[in-house]
Amino acid sequence: MTTPIKNRYEFVILYDVENGNPNGDPDAGNMPRIDPETGHGIVTDVCLKRKVRNYAELVKGDKAGYRIHIKEGTPLNQNHVEAYKAVDLEPGKKAKLGDIALARQWMCANFFDVRTFGAVMSTGDNCGQVRGPIQINFSRSIDPIIQQEVTITRQAVTKIEDIEKERTMGRKHIVPYGLYRAEGYISAKLANDEKKGTGFSEEDLELFWDALVNLFEHDHSAARGKMATRKLVIFKHDSELGNAPSHKLFELVTVEKKADANPPRKFSDYEVSVGEAPAGVTIIEK
């Protein structure tokens, strides 16, 4: 790992879905999440973070410093036990505050997602809490979406006693088309602070940008349909604390539906424009 980052960042990511379900709502039969007041589609922050974790694991594997803490099939407390053993603490025994800080540092050094997004690690063997330098807002579609339910058939049955039925009926929930926008923040102080910093580095940052650009390239499935990152706009500040308010930078990125696109069916039905950056901020487009 390299030196912790020294600059504050904000970013805007635009991605779309075609004939897929970008983020099902378990409280609504796994229908695409929607704002009931406006009809706009919603994708949670944890959904995008999961895809970033998956991409990092795909690229880095179990390389030292790039393991994933929150992953399928691994109890979180199992990693806490490993941290205690690594810093010469006794698992199962209550640790002092100074010792907890050592375990916290070990978790940050060894797990990419802890170093990036933070984690609450106070269950089991207490490894403290980490406030990650990267935070992502909920995504929201540019226009209201259509929640469509499609009936499907399978030319087979599951149970032997149902053989007379000859086939099984099922349903898929899709959005015919939707362009989503998410905004995020990267704090240099939460990366490089001597006491609370996670050590999030320039190398980590490059991996994160790559993950956003390739967010859906290794996540394709029939359920999610055709999804792709369409544009990533990065605002790099010249300082740790920043040179402009985040909300004013986000307002520089505008997305307008073309007059003849009603309803929009593809990304080219929109016009994306980026305004001029204020002093002390550099705009990077990917």
Read off the pLDDT of residues 176-185 as tens digits, 9 standing for 90 and up: 999 999 999 9
Has residue 144 been placed in a domain? yes
Count Cβ neighbours within 10 Å for each residue of 52-69 and write b for 16 or more, e otherwise: bbbbbbeeeeeeebbbbb
Has residue 280 been placed in a domain? yes
Read off the pLDDT of residues 221-278 as tens digits, 9 standing for 90 and up: 988 999 999 999 999 999 999 999 999 999 999 999 999 988 899 999 999 999 999 9
| Spatial CA neighbour of 274 closest among 235, 244, 236, 247 | 235
What pLDDT sits at residue 160? Answer: 80
Is the full-model pTM beyond 0.85? yes
Two tokens, residue 58? 């795909």
Segments in 158-218 forming alpha helices (H): 189-192, 202-213
Has residue 1 been placed in a domain? no
* Count of domains forming the chain: 1
Has residue 2 been placed in a domain? no
Has residue 4 been placed in a domain? no
Read off the pLDDT of residues 25-73 as tens digits, 9 standing for 90 and up: 999 989 999 999 999 999 999 999 999 999 999 999 989 999 999 998 8
What pLDDT sits at residue 1? Answer: 54
Q: What is the DSSP code string of 99-155?
A: HHHHHHHHHHHHBHHHHHHEEE--SSS---EEE-SEEEPPEEEEEE---EEEEEEES
What residue numbers bound the domain in which 210 lies? 9-285
Has residue 3 been placed in a domain? no
| Spatial CA neighbour of 16 closest among 175, 147, 209 | 175
Residue 150 · residue 171 · CB < 8 Å: yes
What pLDDT sits at residue 57? Answer: 96
Residue 188 · residue 238 · CB < 8 Å: no
List for the chain the helix, strand, coil content (%; round to 5): 30, 35, 40
